[in-house]
A and B are shown apart, each in its own frame.
Chain A
Amino acid sequence: MDATAKSFKDQAKDGLENATLQDALGKLGFGFPLLRQMAADGLPEFDALRDQGRDIKNHVLEHLDYYLERFEEQVTGHGGQVHWCPTDGDARDAILKICQEARAKTVTKGKSMVTEEIAINAHLEAHGIKAIETDLGEYIIQLRNEPPSHIVGPAIHLNKEQIAGTFRSHHKELDPDRSLEEVPALVREAREVLRQKYIDADVGITGANFLVAETGSSIIVTNEGNGDLSQSLPRIHIVVASIEKVVPTLEDACTFLRLLARSATGQEFSAYTTFSTGPKRPDDPDGPEQYHVILLDNGRSDLLGTEFQDVLRCIRCGACMNHCPVYTSVGGHAYGSVYPGPIGSVLTPALAGIDQSHHLPNASTFCGKCEEVCPMRIPLPKMMRYWRERAFDQGQDPVAARWALAFWATAARWPALYHFGANVMTRLLHFMGKREGHLVRLPFAGGWTRHRDFPTPERATFQSQWRKRL
């Protein structure tokens, strides 16, 4: 995983100063919550489904070993193969081996966050195998060599002019005078270019939104249909999924499917929901000859039984980031990790270590919106608080912040001291800002006054005014 989570503050600043990104985030932060709300309101059972979804996931996490074994049994029974991978390295090795045994030259990929997590593209590339992203957003950022900025819309930080420029410099074989001004032209060009890639590819890699223990099926949900072309045209289909994706039955999968699209994009249902079970049957005219499932742990089992277990319920809908005031201000790249937004602030420290990412759980106003909209009712703010505690215990915070907190904690424990301090400070600030009505500079609070003035406080604290009134 990317280690730039350390530089959250600088990256957040870049995000705030990027006008294109700010435009996109404005649209996103306004549009998606509205669409989600309409979809939720349109289904009276929405909250009941959320409760049930949460309970099913909790049940699975309690019996994860059982469901994974049953899943494997079924995959094998249908002629597929499961590869158990404790670490990201194991997953890379397993995928490379399958590709090499098939003498694969190119691989087409459906959209999958977990393959970003294990950085499979670079690994295949290093061994002479070309991996081509086919989700339009992923394709664009792959050409630009950038990481995704949103788990559902990976290229939302770009405008159409930038994308047209990228296409022009990469699709050299096409007419240089073609028009690429409008969105339809861009979509059409990507469609045409990628069409041949699906047909030429030897291997198709997809993620999985769910794995079904009852039947050994993997499920993908997309709007473009790229995941389906990636898995039905090449000879080999590799599914990469983390262990917590397993659900018991097809009926249980239906419950999650009713929540996923509505929470993600506000659609009633995504255009394509596909259940794949094993390789093609002997009579089938198309479909892959081999079906492999990479079951990745990569730190997830460490979370079982801890205060972070609930995060394993996540179905990666992106609602928490669409509703997050921090995410919709700084954008996904600021987080410097595969998973941005509130979910990333909880998951990244777990996967990459809190020493690499202690800024992330601090990137929150604790407004609680993420938990409110999370279809899986994951208590994200509470978990960010846990991470803050851990970071503090491990001495990750800067010395000044630690001193300030220690000072505050002492004062808060001695009311007399606290009141005395507050009185002195209030009077001092009142005196300093009396003339202007506000303060433009404050010692130790430059982070605040650089961007906005600090209003001058009243002459006395609320408590002392109150006491006088009595």
Chain B
Amino acid sequence: MSDPRAQILGKIREIRGRGALSASNRHMLDTRLADHPRNVVPARADGPQAELIVQFMDYLGKAGATVLRVPKRSDVPAAVAEYLRDNNLPGRVRTTSDPEIDSLPWSDQEMLERTEGRAEKSDDVSVTSAVAGIAETGTLLLTSGKHTPTSLNFLPETHIVVLSAQTVVGSYEDAIDKVRKQGQLPRTLNFITGPSRTADVELTMEMGAHGPRQLHVILVDN
């Protein structure tokens, strides 16, 4: 019994008064994993798309993020530039390199300097895409991948997320389904609900503990 794995598993089985599970029992559990059925999903995660979008924006706002709704994709670079100006931020952004972001008309914004790739310590602002917006709690789902480094979601002080309104779904499960459909699970799934915060000093809520102090979502209608 010196193998620690056998030791732990053996002890559990001994307490349960059995060896490894019987074939039929195992089959039952395998099926549950393969089917991964949903449990109770709150009713508020269900509704017409237009309502879900409003609810998504509402919860996101309550979580301390700001949201701007723009009519079309080509409005995004100007909206980013304006946000930076309004908040006295330098005209420099680090972005993801996925088509969602890459294909935006950035060159219209001459004053905006854009580089792609993982975040560096000196980056003040990141602009990323997201896989989904989740109406249930105003949560964004971002995944890591070749074009979407995770560090962009955490290192810069300001994080701007560009999200197409049609990607807004009701529940966490809906968002996870989208990821499941894409094939292999990415290394990281980030569910983000508002900017970074802490209440560790005197239970006083303060934004920007380690992650972004500002989370700004640009929601594109189409």
A207 within 8 A of B: no
Instruction: Give Cα A272–Cα B25 distance, bound, in whole angstroms.
Output: 36
Determine whether the beta carbon of B29 is less than 8 Å from that of A286.
no
Instruction: Give Cα A194–Cα B202 distance, bound, in whole angstroms.
Output: 20
Q: How large is the interface on B (under 10, 10 to 19, 20 to 34, 35 or more residues)?
A: 35 or more
Determine whether the beta carbon of A136 is less than 8 Å from that of B4.
no
Partner of A283, one of B146, B193, B211: B146
Partner of A224, one of B21, B37, B209: B209
**Inside 8 A of A272's CB, which chain B residues have their CB?**
190-193, 196, 211
**Inside 8 A of B201's CB, which chain A residues have their CB?**
136, 140, 155, 158, 160, 163, 183, 186-187
Task: Name the residue among B4, B37, B145, B185 with the largest chain A CB count within 10 angstroms.
Answer: B185
Q: How large is the interface on A (under 10, 10 to 19, 20 to 34, 35 or more residues)?
A: 35 or more
B198 within 8 A of A: yes
Instruction: Give Cα A199–Cα B144 distance, bound, in whole angstroms.
Output: 19
Determine whether the beta carbon of B173 is less than 8 Å from that of A278.
no
Determine whether the beta carbon of B210 is less than 8 Å from that of A226.
yes
Determine whether the beta carbon of A277 is less than 8 Å from that of B33.
no
CB distance from B114 to the nearest CB of A (A): 16
Determine whether the beta carbon of B144 is less than 8 Å from that of A217.
no
CB distance from A435 to the nearest CB of B (A): 47
Instruction: Give Cα A154–Cα B206 distance, bound, in whole angstroms.
Output: 16
CB distance from A20 to the nearest CB of B (A): 9
A65 within 8 A of B: yes
Instruction: Give Cα A274–Cα B190 distance, bound, in whole angstroms.
Output: 5
Determine whether the beta carbon of B173 is less than 8 Å from that of A224.
no
Determine whether the beta carbon of B186 is less than 8 Å from that of A281.
yes
Determine whether the beta carbon of B196 is less than 8 Å from that of A254.
no
Determine whether the beta carbon of A251 is less than 8 Å from that of B176.
yes
A84 within 8 A of B: yes
Instruction: Give Cα A257–Cα B139 distance, bound, in whole angstroms.
Output: 13
Query: Which B residues between 194 and 222 are near A, CB-CB below 8 angstroms?
Result: 194-204, 206, 208-212
A285 within 8 A of B: yes
Determine whether the beta carbon of A287 is less than 8 Å from that of B188.
yes
Determine whether the beta carbon of A65 is less than 8 Å from that of B42.
no
Determine whether the beta carbon of A225 is less than 8 Å from that of B203.
no
**Inside 8 A of B137's CB, which chain A residues have their CB?**
268-269
* Nearest chain B residue, comparing its CB with the CB of A225: B211
B172 within 8 A of A: yes
Partner of A86, one of B7, B150, B200: B7
Instruction: Give Cα A225–Cα B37 distance, bound, in whole angstroms.
Output: 30
Instruction: Give Cα A213–Cα B33 distance, bound, in whole angstroms.
Output: 8
A405 within 8 A of B: no
Determine whether the beta carbon of A223 is less than 8 Å from that of B196.
yes
CB distance from B180 to the nearest CB of A (A): 8
Determine whether the beta carbon of A191 is less than 8 Å from that of B16.
no
Query: Which A residues between 386 and 424 are near B, CB-CB below 8 angstroms?
Result: none
CB distance from A156 to the nearest CB of B (A): 6
CB distance from B150 to the nearest CB of A (A): 5
Determine whether the beta carbon of A232 is less than 8 Å from that of B154.
yes
Partner of A268, one of B9, B13, B193: B193
Determine whether the beta carbon of A229 is less than 8 Å from that of B7.
no
Instruction: Give Cα A380–Cα B4 distance, bound, in whole angstroms.
Output: 31
Partner of B13, one of A65, A78, A249: A65
B39 within 8 A of A: yes
**Inside 8 A of B12's CB, which chain A residues have their CB?**
64-65, 68, 301, 304
Determine whether the beta carbon of B211 is less than 8 Å from that of A228.
yes
* Nearest chain B residue, comparing its CB with the CB of A44: B43
B149 within 8 A of A: yes
Instruction: Give Cα A304–Cα B119 distance, bound, in whole angstroms.
Output: 45
**Inside 8 A of B41's CB, which chain A residues have their CB?**
254
**Inside 8 A of B42's CB, which chain A residues have their CB?**
43-45, 258
* Nearest chain B residue, comparing its CB with the CB of A273: B191
**Inside 8 A of A154's CB, which chain B residues have their CB?**
200
A70 within 8 A of B: yes
* Nearest chain B residue, comparing its CB with the CB of A278: B187
Given A183-B206, A283-B146, A301-B12: A155 touches B200 (CB 8 Å cut-off): yes
Give A72-111 as 1s and 0s: 1 = Cβ < 8 Å from B's Cβ atoms.
0000001000001110001000000000000000000000
Given A63-B29, A301-B8: A52 touches B40 (CB 8 Å cut-off): yes
Determine whether the beta carbon of A301 is less than 8 Å from that of B11.
yes
Partner of B203, one of A31, A45, A86, A134: A31
A143 within 8 A of B: no
Partner of B176, one of A90, A250, A270: A250
Determine whether the beta carbon of B206 is less than 8 Å from that of A184.
yes
A372 within 8 A of B: no
* Nearest chain A residue, comparing its CB with the CB of B4: A84
Partner of A279, one of B16, B171, B187, B211: B187
Determine whether the beta carbon of B4 is less than 8 Å from that of A217.
no
CB distance from A296 to the nearest CB of B (A): 9
**Inside 8 A of A67's CB, which chain B residues have their CB?**
29
Instruction: Give Cα A206–Cα B144 distance, bound, in whole angstroms.
Output: 19
Give B130-146 as 1s and 0s: 1 = Cβ < 8 Å from A's Cβ atoms.
00000001110000111
CB distance from B15 to the nearest CB of A (A): 4
Contacts A153-B200, A214-B36, A248-B32 known; list 14 others, CB within 8 Å.
A44-B42, A186-B201, A225-B211, A252-B39, A254-B39, A255-B40, A269-B139, A269-B191, A270-B193, A271-B211, A277-B186, A281-B145, A284-B144, A287-B144
Instruction: Identify the A interface with B (CB < 8 A).
Output: 24, 27-28, 31, 43-45, 48-49, 52, 56, 62-70, 78, 84-86, 90, 134-137, 140, 153-156, 158-160, 163, 183-184, 186-188, 190-191, 194-196, 199, 213-215, 217, 223-226, 228-229, 232-233, 243, 248-252, 254-255, 257-258, 265, 267-281, 283-287, 295, 297, 301, 304-305
24 A-B contacts (beta carbon < 8 Å)? A31-B203, A44-B43, A48-B40, A62-B16, A65-B13, A66-B20, A86-B4, A136-B209, A186-B201, A187-B198, A187-B201, A191-B209, A225-B211, A232-B150, A251-B176, A269-B138, A269-B139, A271-B194, A271-B197, A274-B189, A284-B146, A295-B8, A301-B15, A304-B12
CB-CB nearest 5 A-B residue pairs: A225-B211, A137-B200, A224-B209, A283-B146, A275-B189
